[in-house]
Amino acid sequence: MGADPVRRSFAAVPPIPSLSESRRALLNCQEQDHLGHVEFFRQARALGDRLIVGLVGDADVATYKPPPILSFAERLGVVRECRLVDRVLEQPVPLTPSSAFLDSIGAEFLCHGNDMDENELRKFYADLMLHGRLRTVRYTSQISSRLIVERVVKRSQDGTLRR
């Protein structure tokens, strides 16, 4: 019997990079893991040699969008299993990270989806933008956590959601 295709897409992560390697950080809230997040990781990882992922804490997420359905610990566990991620930060990251924070984790820049306009990006990443340490990648609009929640709500309303 062959390996489960979903399980096969996840594997142990490579070692933490040496200081001579190009590194980038990806900080996000990562609600319900889905293919859009995997594509985001793939694009971010292509920008350098290693991908460091940090997750925003539950309370910080709730200051600008609905509280996460998955807890910080649950989101952390999912990201730890992604083979595209070289290192996962174990503690919540700042909602508005600075260049000093990136230096403290050994990252050259932060990567975000291009789903925010410049004013929104500046609200969260002003210091990084000032120092040229923010990169954006294409946002995967075909799937999102919001769309998944909408599907669940519709199925619940239609009576087709198993309980």
The answer to whether residue 131 is domain-embedded is: yes
Residue 9: inside a domain, yes or no?
no
pLDDT score of 12:
29
Look at residue 118 and tell me if it is in a domain. yes
Question: Under a CB-based contact definition with an 8 Å cutoff, are residues 28 and 56 in contact?
Answer: yes
In a domain, 115, yes or no: yes
pLDDT at residue 20 tops 50: no
CB proximity list for 41: less than 8 A, separation 6 or greater: 26, 51, 53, 82, 84, 85
Residue 101 lies in a domain: yes
Evaluate whether residue 11 is within a structural domain.
Answer: no
Residue 67: the pLDDT is: 82
The pLDDT of residue 94: 92
What ranges make up the beta strands (E) of 46-122? 50-55, 87-88, 110-113
The predicted-structure confidence for 34-52, as pLDDT tens digits, reads as follows 667 778 888 888 888 888 9
pLDDT computed for residue 146 by the predictor:
67
**What pLDDT is stored for residue 143 in this prediction?**
64
Q: Which domain holds residue 140?
A: 22-158
Rounded Cα distance, 17 and 5, in Å: 28
Number of domains in the chain: 1
pTM, to two decimals? 0.72
Residue 5, judged by CB atoms within 10 A of its CB (0-12, 13-18, 19+), counts as: exposed
Strand order in the sheet with 134-137: 87-88, 50-55, 23-28, 110-113, 134-137
Q: 13 lies in a domain?
A: no
CATH code, domain carrying 103: 3.40.50.620
**Predicted pLDDT at 40:** 82
Give a yes or no: residue 104 inside a domain.
Answer: yes
pLDDT tens column, 89-118: 999 999 899 999 999 998 888 988 887 889
